[in-house]
Amino acid sequence: MRTVIGLEVHAQLLTKTKLFCSCSAEYFGAPPNTHTCPVCLGMPGALPVLNERAVEYALMAALALHCEIPQRSTFARKNYFYPDLPKGYQISQFDEPLAIRGFVELPTGKRVRIRRVHLEEDAGKLLHTETGVSLVDFNRAGVPLIEIVSEPELSSPKEARLYMEELRRILRYLGVCSGDMEEGSLRCDANISVSPDAQLGTKIEVKNMNSFKAVEAALDYEVRRQRQILERGGSVVQETRLWNEKTGETEPMRAKEESEDYRYFPDPDLVPLQIDDSWKQKIDLPELPAAKRARFAQEYQLPEYDIAVLTEERPIAEYFEAVVKLYQHPKDVSNWMMSELLRLLKEQRSLEIPMKPEHFAQVLQMVRSGQITRTVAKDVIEESFKTGKAPQEIVREKGLGQISDEGLLAEIVTKVLAENPKAVADFRAGKEAALGFLQGQVMKATSGKADPHKVRALLLEKLRH
Ligand code: ADP
Ligand code: MG
Ligand code: ZN
């Protein structure tokens, strides 16, 4: 059986204002219905004015997805009746979208073709209370979205997830979308079919997944469900289903509507959007994830795993390169960043790195030159990260320099051996592991400052006598 998946992804654009009015688009957490005006509330006679920044962001995304941009695109009214839609229609693009025929290159190298990218406005949000009352909040109504429609050529739930993750990376690199699936800034309708032969099967559309994990899980469930139907000789009926996070199953929502149901027609209030070459040429794209991955592999000879971690977010990748410029040992920088820096960033829940790249490079330099131990380096990184202090200063102030004075170390080693007769006996009886324990005791006694190589040599020397 062959699985085929195509995704329709909605990404909220990070503009200051809405798509057709000057209401603030930064509605998250705001009191209901405070970001509204006659335009986004659909009052009779109110006229939309297109937000130029939203077009620019959509263009950036489309170009980053290698799309063609037709000179002309148009806005259409998609008509349907639902309480979160104040005008009774959504302004979208239909037969003349902003962009067509692009592709996304996955980290695996596979290219997934993009059918179209178009601009549209978001709807409001319904809140269903426990008392059976439904409330509506129009703060989100009119917020700009792009819809990115892939061709049906993803071949597994796992690949669909990789595709979503890559899209998110691209949009975040561009700074046009926060990519937050839990907040709903990035949403996905997944279409999936299973067929016994090369022909495309009947597709099911699945909605309501709010994490990458949920996208994969919902599609996994659908593969199993549809296979079962076909294997029992039945046929899949085209419909839209909802993912239920609690049960881990998809449930029928409605029979699939056709585009004819929406009675699309050109919006008479909006002129066609003209995008000439000069506008396209003005758009500056940053280095995108796929290109960065390829360059990192070439320039720094890093393992694939390191490259994936370091290029996941632009600020991380840029920090890595800034440190490597000052301390030319890429794998070393990568290891320290992945273990220490990323942990600290996760703790502070933001990608703004308060520690200067110079300071990070200095710590690694001090380790390399033997001035401090690796154990101490971890503390120095944390302190410098949290206070902004220079590593040299921290080491000086706290007396964290490595202890390599043999006389002093010998004294400590003797003391540790005297205090741990059992470990000494174990080692002499052939238990090699006891050495590690004793070494750990010496490091503890020196707050991690003892030169580990010298400690080991001294321990062995004394233990063998
Ligand atoms: P509709 O007109 O119902 O919206 P489209 O042909 O426009 O359907 O496709 C919508 C999405 O569904 C696209 O992302 C496309 O890749 C995907 N899709 C279309 N047919 C199939 C199929 N048989 N199996 C899986 N996905 C499909
Ligand atoms: Mg569709
Ligand atoms: Zn408004």
* Contact partners, residue 254, CB within 8 Å, separation at least 6: 239, 240
* Position 254 pLDDT exceeds 90: no
Q: Please tell me the distance between residue 80's alpha carbon and the centre of ligand 2 in angstroms.
A: 14
| 191 within ligand 1 shell (Cβ under 6 A) | yes
- Ligand at minimal distance from the CA of 222 is 1
| 193 within ligand 1 shell (Cβ under 6 A) | yes
Place of tokens 């329709």: 8
| 200 within ligand 1 shell (Cβ under 6 A) | yes
* Position 412 pLDDT exceeds 80: yes
* Position 202 pLDDT exceeds 80: yes
Average pLDDT of the segment spanning 345-373: 94
Confidence of residue 277 (pLDDT cuts 50, 70, 90): very high
Average pLDDT of the segment spanning 203-214: 96
pTM, rounded to two decimals: 0.90
* Position 257 pLDDT exceeds 80: no
* Position 2 pLDDT exceeds 80: yes
| 5 within ligand 1 shell (Cβ under 6 A) | yes
Confidence of residue 406 (pLDDT cuts 50, 70, 90): confident
Burial 343-372 (b: 16+ CB within 10 A, else e): eebeeeeeeebebbbebbbbbbbbbeeebb
CA-CA distance, 422 to 37, in Å (whole number)?
Answer: 79
| Residue 29, helix vs strand vs coil | coil
Q: Which atom of ligand 1 is nearest to the CA of 6?
A: 16
| Residue 121, helix vs strand vs coil | strand
| 8 within ligand 1 shell (Cβ under 6 A) | yes
CA-CA distance, 263 to 80, in Å (whole number)?
Answer: 8
Structure tokens at 419: 């205090």
Residue 303, pLDDT score: 96
DSSP single-letter state for residue 340: I
- The sign one gets for the Cα dihedral 149, 154, 159, 160 is positive
Q: Please tell me the distance between residue 41's alpha carbon and the centre of ligand 3 in angstroms.
A: 7
Q: Which atom of ligand 1 is nearest to the CA of 202?
A: 23
CA-CA distance, 39 to 28, in Å (whole number)?
Answer: 20
| 7 within ligand 1 shell (Cβ under 6 A) | yes
Instruction: Note the pLDDT tens digit of each residue in 323-337.
Output: 999 999 999 999 999
The number of beta carbons lying within 10 Å of the beta carbon of residue 336 is 23
The number of beta carbons lying within 10 Å of the beta carbon of residue 309 is 18
Q: Please tell me the distance between residue 117's alpha carbon and the centre of ligand 1 in angstroms.
A: 14
Q: Please tell me the distance between residue 156's alpha carbon and the centre of ligand 2 in angstroms.
A: 20
Percent of the chain residues topping a pLDDT of 90 = 88
Highest mean pLDDT among 143-152, 193-202, 391-400, 443-452: 143-152
In the chain the domains, ranked by start, together with CATH numbers, are 2-282 (no CATH), 289-398 (no CATH), 406-463 (1.10.10.410)
The letter for the amino acid at 141 is A
DSSP single-letter state for residue 361: H
Average pLDDT of the segment spanning 450-455: 88
| 37 within ligand 1 shell (Cβ under 6 A) | no
Burial 392-406 (b: 16+ CB within 10 A, else e): bebbeeeebebbbee
Q: What is the DSSP string of 148-198?
A: EEE-S-B-SHHHHHHHHHHHHHHHHHHTS----TTTTSEEEEEEEEEESSS
CA-CA distance, 97 to 73, in Å (whole number)?
Answer: 5
Q: Are the beta carbons of 310 and 292 closer than 8 angstroms?
A: no
| 236 within ligand 1 shell (Cβ under 6 A) | no
CA-CA distance, 152 to 112, in Å (whole number)?
Answer: 9
| 47 within ligand 1 shell (Cβ under 6 A) | no
Q: Cα torsion at 370, 375, 377, 382 (round to 10°)?
A: -170
* Contact partners, residue 196, CB within 8 Å, separation at least 6: 1, 2, 230
| 174 within ligand 1 shell (Cβ under 6 A) | no
Highest mean pLDDT among 389-393, 398-402, 407-411: 389-393
User: Which strand ranges, in their side-by-side order, compose the sheet holding 186-195?
Assistant: 99-105, 111-121, 144-150, 2-12, 186-195, 204-207, 239-244, 249-255
Q: Are the beta carbons of 96 and 72 closer than 8 angstroms?
A: yes
Best of 191, 194, 235 for a ligand 1 pocket test (most atoms within 8 Å of beta carbon): 191
Residue 181, pLDDT score: 95
CA-CA distance, 446 to 316, in Å (whole number)?
Answer: 34
Backbone angles phi, psi at 458, to 5 degrees: -65, -40
Q: Are the beta carbons of 176 and 61 closer than 8 angstroms?
A: yes
Q: Are the beta carbons of 463 and 413 closer than 8 angstroms?
A: no
CA-CA distance, 200 to 242, in Å (whole number)?
Answer: 22
Average pLDDT of the segment spanning 349-370: 94
Q: Please tell me the distance between residue 101's alpha carbon and the centre of ligand 1 in angstroms.
A: 15
Q: Please tell me the distance between residue 150's alpha carbon and the centre of ligand 1 in angstroms.
A: 8
Average pLDDT of the segment spanning 360-378: 93
Residue 453, pLDDT score: 87
Residue 450, pLDDT score: 87
Instruction: Note the pLDDT tens digit of each residue in 299-318.
Output: 999 999 999 999 999 999 99
Q: Are the beta carbons of 117 and 97 closer than 8 angstroms?
A: yes
Average pLDDT of the segment spanning 424-436: 92
Q: In terms of Cα–Cα distance, which of 282, 285, 310, 284 is closest to 295? A: 310
* Position 65 pLDDT exceeds 80: yes
Q: What is the chain's alpha carbon radius of gyration, rounded to the nearest angstrom?
A: 29
Residue 105, pLDDT score: 96
